[in-house]
Structure formats: C-alpha cells, structure tokens
Structure 1
Amino acid sequence: MIPTTATIRDALAMYLSQQGMSIHQFARQAGINSGTLSRVIKGQQPIAMNHLERITKGMDLPEDHFYSLYVDECFYYSSPTWRRLRPFLVRSAELGRLDCVEQVVQNLLENLTYAPMLFEVAEGLFQEGLWQAAALLYKNVSASEKYQNSERLAVCQFRLFRIALGDDQTQNLQAALIFECYLDRLDEADQIDGIKYLINVYYSLHKWDKVDKLAQEMLHLATLRYDLQRHSNRKQSNEKNPEKPLCFYIFYSHLMRASVCEEHGDYKSALKFVALYTDASWIQKDDEEAKRTVVQFQEWGTANTLLYLVMSGQRDALSEYVEHISSQRNEIFVALYNILTSANRYDWNVDHILERFADYIPYRINLTEFGEYNQQIMVDQHARFLVELASYNLHNNRMEGINFILQSLESSARINNESNIIKCIDLFEWHRHLADEAQKQQYKLLIREVQDLHEKKNHYAPSFL
C-alpha cells in the first residue's frame, strides 16, 4: 500500500526505495524509457498521461490511484497543456472520477479560451453515453458563456435537458421550461430534435395544447428543410442533419396532432391526421431508412384507424383491432390500455382479450424499429393502465381491483403524476369498504409518501388519511 504523499514523484521515489529498485529496473518493468523516467522523477519533464498509466501499472496500483495528484501535476507542478488534459478528462470520465473532471474543468475555465475545447470533449462523452461527466462539462461551459447569445450555449442546454429527463414528471417539466428558452438559438437540425423531445415531455404531462403547438412548429421546420434539400443542387454532406430522416418528423408531427385529437375525443379529426402520416406519395428520397420510416408509420396508421373506431364506441371494430395488434407484439401493451379505456367508457366485457394477452400485463418493455418507446410516455402510461385495470375489475366486482389501485398509486407517486394520484385516491375512497386492513394500511403509507413528496416541493398536500 502506497502512503499518501505530496506528489506522484514522491510516491514513485518511495516505491523504488521500498522495492530496492533502480530507475533502469523500474523503467523496464513499466515500459518507459529510462532517460524519460529519470527526467520525470527529477522534475525536469512533466508527467504525460501515458507515463502516468505506465507508472501506475508498473507499481501494480488501480489505474486511477494517482488521478487526484495528477490534477495538481497538471496545474501546479507544470504548465497546463491540452495535450495532457484532454486524455485525462476522457479517461477520468470513463472511470467515473467525476471529482477529477470537476477539478480540471474549474481550473481550465479560469481561461475562457478553453470553453470550446471542453465543449468538444463534452460532445464526445455525450455520444459515448457518459452523461454524468458530460453534464459537468456542459454546466461549466454554460456558466462561462451565460452572457453570450451563442449556439454553443444553446447546445449545452439542449444536452442538459436530455440528460435531466427521467421518471419524475415535475423535474421533466422544469427541465423542459429551462430548455425552451434556448430552442430558437439552436441550429435548425437540433431545433427539430429539440422539439421532438419537448413534445414527448409535454405528451407525458398531458399538456395537449403544448403538444399541438410544438407539433405544428416541427412540421413547419421539417417541411421547409425538406423542400430546401429537394430543390437545392448543393451537396449536403457537410450540413448537420437531425437524428432521423426528415420524413420522420413530418409524419411524427401528424401523429402527435392525431393523438391530441384522440385525447379530446375528436376521432373524426384524428383520422384526417392518420391519412397525412400514412401518405408517402410526396417522398422522393427512397433510401432504406426512409422506407423503414414509411412502413412504421403506415403500420401505426392501420392500427390507429381501427383504434379510433373502437374508441368512438364501434364495438364491431374491436375484434379486427385485436387481431391486427396480436401480431405486433411491441404494440400490445399500448393497445391493451386503449381497449381497457374503451371498455370502461362503454361498459364492455373484454375478459377474453385480457386473458389472451395476459403475458403483457404488467408492462415490462416495448420496442419498435426505432428503439424503446419514449421512457417518460411509457412510464406514465403504465401508471394510467393500472388505474384503468383497477376500475375495470371493480366494476366487475373483482376485489383484485384494490391491488391495482395501490400499484397505480405507487407508480404514480414515483413519477410524481399528480392527476393519476388524484384518480387513484378517488377510486380507492369510493371502494374503501372493499379493502381489507392490510390494503388500507398500504394505502395509508402510500398517501404519506405522496404528502412527503408534496411537502418537499413546497406544495400543499391535503390529508386523505
């Protein structure tokens, strides 16, 4: 075990003394040139990142053993150079040494010329999925440029918005409100993607007016960009592109507007939007990604056409809808939620459907060709599904409905979905006489958790105990 020492050189010198090794012997063991090692030990040459790795490995220590001391090495015992600091930042991020990342960034940003370089590292970390470390860089770069109306500042805020998204809907809303202020400063391609992520947040929060407004904005930007590319003779190779083909965003805007109409019970208007996102006659770029996009939206269009008939009360469409989604295993959970909602609205018995798809209850994961469903939307829909299932079972005099209320309440509290919490409370109180003592006790504990959550957020929480 190496004792705490003032510098890496002190630790190495002590190691050589303890092991009775010469500089030449250790240099051979560590794979470093002996002349280089001698100059490093004498303080005549800074310790490069590859030297640090070889020295640490030669001493048989964990890779990050000297990382805290290396920050001092880079700033106090030698002049800071980007050639050493960049690989150190990246490797610190990879090893989870966020303390070292923070120290390096704060030291570097005393000189604002490093902001663009730190931003470039942050972008690389973000693409590699090292979001915690990337967030540290984005926050510090943002702070250094807060008085500048720069695109880099806007991109930092976009990335921080995406990193902040999680299960807590209140936090998601706060992140969305902060990011929206920077949306129009982004490059057009990032604006389109930014709008898509905002739509998903507001969708999960049931803020339908915002979803509709943003969907129209997405359609405007994506259509303009598509028409420009179609009529331009310039090569687009150096132009920044959104994450998906432009036709995706045009179709997606219509899909979201159809969803808004669905939530308002306007199924006739929803069907008009279905016709828009299933019409591919205008698409000229016929590559594989565009083809897959068209196929996916046409599949959704077929399913949603049947869905809107079901949700408008046409029970004769239910069998066809069920048969259609039965082969689309990744869509079954969403379909079951919609079937349950319709069953509760029109007093249908759908036991045979729930039994047929019992393996999809409760929801675990849903995938499409485009990857996982948006996390915020699906977690929210899971909580709403459970309360619909509870209502259905209680309407049919099945006591297991009480357990589904409790499951929904627990899930809703976890994501801070206030509207669903209220729905669960109303449903439980209406059927309290059916609950046994254990269920009442569990309900009491869950309500206490909800109240604690509200108090932490400085909201008034009425007592339901």
Structure 2
Amino acid sequence: MRVNNRSLRLEIEDQMKLHGYSLNKVAELTGINAGNLSMVLNGRARAMTIGQLDALAEVLGKPPGWLYELYKEECISDNKVSRPRLIPYLVRCVEIGRVDCIEPVVSKILDNPKNISIIFAAAEKLFENGKLEESEYFYQLVVDNTKDSFSEFMTMSQYRLFLIAQGTDEEQNWKSVIQFEPFRRRLPEYLQLAALLKLAKVSYSLEKINEVEKFAEELAELSSILYKLKMVEEVSVEHHLVYYFGMGLLIKGTVLEKRGLYEEAKKVVQTYADLSWFEPLDESGWQEVEKFKVWAKANLYTLEVLMGNDVILNEYADYLECLDQLNETLSGLTTIIKSANIHGFCIDHVLQRFVGSIDRFDCFVDDLINSRRYLWFCYHRAIYEFSKERYENGIKETIFCISLCLEMKRYEDLARCVALFEKHRNYASESQVQYYKSIRLWVV
C-alpha cells in the first residue's frame, strides 16, 4: 500500500482519536455502514469514495476539501485508474475550489489516451450542473488531447465549447462559430437541430446574413428529412421537431426581410403561419404551432410597416400591447422606428404609448439577440429625434449608443454612432461634448 494511502487514513484516525470518536460513533454520525467504514479505514477490500471523505471531514470539523491532495491515490494506484472514483473527485475539486488538486491528476491520467473519456465525463457533469465556465477547462483538454477529429468526444466537446463561448463579445462569438462549424454535421440529429438553430442565431446577431441563410436552410432541410423519415418523436427532445422546422422558415423569412425582399418574405411567413399539418403533434407540439401563428402575424405587420404602410401602425401597436412580451415589443418598435426614418412618418404617439416598456429595454444588454436589437432601437431613435429637430434628445441617445457599442465591442456600429454624433456635434451642450470625449477615450 502506498505511503499517501496510509497517510490519508492515519490523518483520519488521528482526528478520530482527537475527538474521542470510536469507529461506531463515526459510523453513526456520518451515516456510513460500520462494516464498510472499517474496511475503508483499514484499506481492505474497498477504497474510500469522495463522498465518504466529505462526510468524515464534516463530522471531524474540517473544511470542504480536507485531505483532497491525498485522495488522488484512491483514484490512481499502480497505474490503474478508477473511473467511478476519479470523475466525482474531479467534479468535487471544481465545486469546492480545490483546483490545485486537478492538474496533477489530469497530467497523470492523460498519459493514456483512453482516459480522455474520464475528462469528458467530468466536463459533462459540470455542464449539466450549470457550471459552464468550470467545464470549459475539461472540454478544452479533450479537444487538445484527441487526435481523431471525428471522435464523439471531440465533436461533443467542440459543441459544448461553442455554447459556453456565447456572450456579447462579437469577436469571441464569431471565433466560436468558425471553430465549431466543421463539427455540426457529426452530432446526433437531435443535437444537430439545436446546433444549427444556435449557429443561425449567433450569426444573425453578428449580421453575417449569408451564414444565417445557410444554417437556416440546413435547419429546415434536416427537419423536413426527419419528418419524412417519421422520426418526429425520436428527435423531439429539447423541443418538438415542428419548432425547428418552423424556426428554419422563420429565419429564412428574416433573411429575405433583411435583403429588402419583402414580398418573398411574406410568402415564407405565410408558410409557417399554419403548421397544424405537422404530425404527430403532442401538447408541446401544438403549443409550438400556436407560437408560430403569433409570430407570423407579428412578422406580417413588420413587413407591411417596412413597406411604408403607416395605416396599420395603431393596429400593430395594439397587437404588441396584447402580446405583452418585452422582447416582441423591442423587435416591433425597432421596426416601426426604422420604418419611420425611411418613410418619414410620425410615430410619437406609438413611442409614448410604450414608454414604460422602453424604460425596461436595458434588461437586454447581456442578451445575445436582443442586445443588438436594443442597440438598433437606440440608434434609430437617435436618428428619429434628429429628424424631428429634437437635438438634445438625439445627442443623448447617440451618446448612449456609443457607450453600448463600447460595452458590447461592436466597433462597426460604433463607427456609425460616432459619425452620427459628429454630424450633429454643434447641437451638443458643453457637458455632452465633454462626456462624449471621455467615453471616446475607451476606444484607445
């Protein structure tokens, strides 16, 4: 038996003596069977689990992570690795902050390529527990130490790293898309659906319209194939298959809208307005169908407004108010104010109607999709205020847009906002100019 194994047990036994605890008393306090505890402490027949060590630490008044530096010998002995003990140990080290214990173990087990599965399993456990940042280290280890790019561990790790990377940093988001894209078709079908949708959304947030179109078409095509193969129930895990089929169409319609092809976009919207034919539909499936019906109606309003139809503004506002969904209100008002700037109609009454909702839009600052919409709304509102010769409001909105661009690292948008400020600089107060100069320093 190794020295550290004896040291681990001697430390525990010393503490038991110090507290005056018999083996039966410790068994009673920890809930560990006395016979099992005896064999564990004597090193006979079975090794100690990390749960047992934690229970002993609590009873003996020790902090979480007590003796973890010695516990690795329970996991690796004579070059044999115990998967059932090592995975919980790595996860627990992360959970309580004993990261000093992780690298020595990892470097030792990675001598054998087969042990990649242990690293991956630990990463998955952390990911499932919502510890995304902590799991990133382990997924990256899998990627860096797997030679087979078609390995299931490699593919899943690349997918997880893509999901973890998402935030409001444009550069990081785009880098993650490039890194993951080659692996998307190697995922199981149900994960391919989720991955394609996420790729489309991230690309949309980055205004990479060609990529958005590509991923949306792949999503609609894969969904259609799975439907024809009667695999609706097999792949309806996170969402019903009808959701992914509808989202593929919805995003394709959005691409057409972005390109100014409004009539073509209308045809696509009308396609997903009624997906009741998509069978079989369980309760969740019918809920998705109803959602697309709602979204289709909203998007038809959007297209009408973009085409300059100001007659339906009040009707559109009524609809947004009935929906009572802040993200839909943001999307709708962004379209309305953009259209007002293009076609020159007045929307003061609409903005006043939603002043309470507008005051809450700042909750979207950290949202992948809606943060960009929020920025667009503020930018178009600044232009709108200038068009109505409300220069003080226009300057105020422009400065706010600049600060948002800097926070989100959206430098293309920053250039537009700076140009808008410079165009109207003469209308800015001295304090506004000074504040503008101070935030411009952030760029340097």
Question: What's the TM-score, normalizing by structure 1?
Answer: 0.84
Aligned partner of 1:200 in structure 2 is: 201
Question: C-alpha displacement at 1:285, in angstroms?
Answer: 1.1
Amino acid at match of 2:334: Y
CA–CA distance in 1 between the matches of 2:301 and 2:369?
22
Question: C-alpha displacement at 1:61, in angstroms?
Answer: 2.1
SS of residue in 2 equivalent to 1:327: helix
CA contact (8 A) 2:276 2:289 kept: no
The alpha-carbon distance between structure 1 residues 328 and 83, as it changes in their structure 2 partners (threshold 3 A), is: same
The alpha-carbon distance between structure 1 residues 250 and 29, as it changes in their structure 2 partners (threshold 3 A), is: closer
CA contact (8 A) 1:190 1:242 kept: no
CA–CA distance in 1 between the matches of 2:30 and 2:398?
63
CA–CA distance in 1 between the matches of 2:14 and 2:224?
67
CA–CA distance in 2 between the matches of 1:344 and 1:148?
50
* Residues 386-444 of structure 1: CA deviation (Å, up to 9, x unaligned): 11122222222330222221221111112211221111101111111222233223222
CA–CA distance in 1 between the matches of 2:263 and 2:366?
26
Question: C-alpha displacement at 1:40, in angstroms?
Answer: 5.1
Aligned partner of 1:407 in structure 2 is: 400
CA–CA distance in 1 between the matches of 2:75 and 2:84?
11
Aligned partner of 1:219 in structure 2 is: 220
The alpha-carbon distance between structure 1 residues 32 and 220, as it changes in their structure 2 partners (threshold 3 A), is: closer
The alpha-carbon distance between structure 1 residues 37 and 323, as it changes in their structure 2 partners (threshold 3 A), is: closer
CA contact (8 A) 1:164 1:172 kept: yes
CA contact (8 A) 2:274 2:292 kept: no
The alpha-carbon distance between structure 1 residues 338 and 100, as it changes in their structure 2 partners (threshold 3 A), is: farther
CA contact (8 A) 1:192 1:242 kept: no
The alpha-carbon distance between structure 1 residues 261 and 374, as it changes in their structure 2 partners (threshold 3 A), is: farther
Aligned partner of 1:348 in structure 2 is: 345
Q: Is 1:261 matched with 2:256?
A: yes
For residues 387-426 of structure 1, the aligned pairs below 5 Å read: 387-398=379-390, 399-426=392-419
* Residues 36-71 of structure 1: CA deviation (Å, up to 9, x unaligned): 656655666643223202210111122223333323
SS of residue in 2 equivalent to 1:375: coil
Question: What's the TM-score, normalizing by structure 2?
Answer: 0.88
CA contact (8 A) 1:383 1:409 kept: no
SS of residue in 2 equivalent to 1:302: helix
**Number of positions where the alignment pairs a residue of Structure 1 with one of Structure 2:** 434
Question: C-alpha displacement at 1:73, in angstroms?
Answer: 4.8
Consecutive unaligned residues in structure 1, runs of 5 or more: 1-5, 231-235, 367-372, 452-465
One of 239, 244, 251 as aligned partner of 1:249: 244
Deviates more, 1:17-26 or 1:291-300: 17-26
Amino acid at match of 2:331: V
Deviates more, 1:24-33 or 1:124-133: 24-33
One of 271, 295, 300 as aligned partner of 1:300: 295
CA contact (8 A) 2:379 2:398 kept: yes
Consecutive unaligned residues in structure 2, runs of 5 or more: 1-5
Aligned partner of 2:12 in structure 1 is: 12
Question: C-alpha displacement at 1:102, in angstroms?
Answer: 4.8
CA–CA distance in 2 between the matches of 1:374 and 1:449?
19
CA–CA distance in 2 between the matches of 1:341 and 1:148?
45
SS of residue in 2 equivalent to 1:376: coil
Deviates more, 1:92-101 or 1:157-166: 92-101
* Residues 165-190 of structure 1: CA deviation (Å, up to 9, x unaligned): 11101100000000012122222332
Amino acid at match of 1:70: Y
CA–CA distance in 1 between the matches of 2:245 and 2:31?
57
Aligned partner of 2:367 in structure 1 is: 375
Question: C-alpha displacement at 1:22, in angstroms?
Answer: 5.6
CA–CA distance in 1 between the matches of 2:366 and 2:152?
26
Aligned partner of 2:3 in structure 1 is: none
CA contact (8 A) 1:98 1:133 kept: no
* Residues 200-256 of structure 1: CA deviation (Å, up to 9, x unaligned): 1110011111111221111111111110116xxxxx87x555532222122111111
Amino acid at match of 1:378: N
Q: Is 1:324 matched with 2:319?
A: yes
Amino acid at match of 1:271: K
CA–CA distance in 1 between the matches of 2:330 and 2:286?
26
CA RMSD of aligned residues (A): 2.8
CA–CA distance in 1 between the matches of 2:375 and 2:258?
17
Deviates more, 1:389-398 or 1:407-416: 389-398
CA–CA distance in 2 between the matches of 1:333 and 1:213?
26
CA–CA distance in 2 between the matches of 1:119 and 1:169?
28
CA contact (8 A) 1:257 1:273 kept: yes
Question: C-alpha displacement at 1:312, in angstroms?
Answer: 0.8
Amino acid at match of 1:382: Y
Q: Which has the higher helix share?
A: 2
Aligned partner of 1:339 in structure 2 is: 336
Question: C-alpha displacement at 1:25, in angstroms?
Answer: 5.3
Question: C-alpha displacement at 1:74, in angstroms?
Answer: 3.2
Question: C-alpha displacement at 1:194, in angstroms?
Answer: 1.3
Amino acid at match of 1:394: F
Question: C-alpha displacement at 1:157, in angstroms?
Answer: 0.4
CA–CA distance in 2 between the matches of 1:199 and 1:27?
55
For residues 39-438 of structure 1, the aligned pairs below 5 Å read: 46-75=47-76, 80-229=81-230, 239=234, 241=236, 243-330=238-325, 331-362=328-359, 363-365=361-363, 375-398=367-390, 399-438=392-431
Deviates more, 1:43-52 or 1:374-383: 43-52
CA–CA distance in 1 between the matches of 2:81 and 2:350?
67
CA–CA distance in 2 between the matches of 1:10 and 1:432?
76
